[in-house]
């Protein structure tokens, strides 16, 4: 009797293959044929899970956002209530680092996300996904800063969001070649200034 194929796992395997190709070759190097080879499937099997190239790309973009969102859930903003000083900075930094390339998993996600953000500039099918991720990030940051009693939490959330973008770009591209230690020190200095405002 043939083994049952876990359709959801197979779909995840195809998305993971797309991630690897995006990291290795960038957005322009991604095709259904290459994803099929990378995932060890034939192209017909890949088409069974994804109607076309666009469907696969939207699924990959959505997956990045879902992964980041799942990590953020581990840091409920209510847990920040009443924290001050070093405890507040530590907790806020732990939350923000979920969105930064501080380990291999998050580095891959940052690269994939960056590829989609750049693609969304000229390809409208990615705009809803990337715009929603940006809105969700700003919402979480605003709420965290509000709970920490930071004056003007939305304005400071915009600044932290911009810092996240800049740090991520500098960490995953030759633009800055920023190491994890320097990334963390830069983030901490900014969070200290926000929380002491």
Check residue 110 and give its pLDDT: 95
Report the topology of domain 1-50. Arc Repressor Mutant, subunit A (1.10.10)
What's the rounded Cα separation, in Å, for the pair 106 and 21? 16
Is the CATH code 3.20.20.10 the one for domain 61-195? no
Q: List the one residue out of 50, 193, 178, 54 whose CA is nearest residue 128.
A: 54
Share of the chain above pLDDT 90, in %: 72
Structure confidence at residue 57 as a pLDDT band (50, 70, 90): confident
Token pair 């840091």: residue: 75
pLDDT of residue 86: 97
- Going from N- to C-terminal start, the domains of the chain cover 1-50, 61-195
- Torsion angle of alpha carbons 54, 59, 60, 66, nearest 10°? 150
Tell whether the model's pLDDT for residue 1 goes beyond 70: no
| pLDDT tens digit sequence for 106-149 | 999 999 999 999 999 998 988 998 999 999 999 999 999 999 99
- Decide: helix, strand or coil at residue 141: helix
Residue predicted with more confidence, 65 or 5: 65
Q: Is the pLDDT of residue 97 over 50?
A: yes
Say how far apart CA 50 and CA 94 lie, in whole Å. Answer: 35
pLDDT at 2: 47
Report, as an integer, the average pLDDT of 91-99.
97
């Amino acid at each position: 009797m043939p083994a049952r194929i876990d359709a959801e796992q197979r779909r995840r395997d195809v998305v993971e293959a797309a991630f690897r190709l995006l990291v290795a070759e960038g957005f322009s190097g991604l095709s259904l044929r290459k994803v099929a080879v990378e995932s060890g499937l034939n192209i017909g099997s890949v088409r069974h899970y994804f109607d076309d190239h666009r469907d696969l790309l939207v699924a990959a973009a959505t997956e990045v956002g879902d992964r980041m969102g799942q990590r953020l859930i581990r840091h409920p903003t209510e847990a920040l209530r009443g924290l001050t000083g070093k405890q507040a900075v530590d907790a806020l930094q732990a939350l923000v680092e979920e969105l930064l390339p501080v380990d291999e998993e998050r580095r891959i996600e940052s690269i994939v996300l960056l590829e989609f953000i750049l693609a969304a500039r000229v390809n409208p099918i990615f705009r809803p996904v990337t715009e929603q991720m940006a809105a969700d990030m700003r919402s979480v940051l605003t709420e965290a800063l509000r709970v920490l009693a930071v004056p003007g939490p939305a304005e400071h959330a915009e600044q932290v969001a911009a810092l996240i973008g800049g740090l991520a770009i500098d960490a995953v591209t030759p633009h800055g070649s920023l190491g994890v230690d320097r990334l963390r020190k830069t983030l901490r200095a900014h969070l200290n200034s926000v929380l002491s405002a």
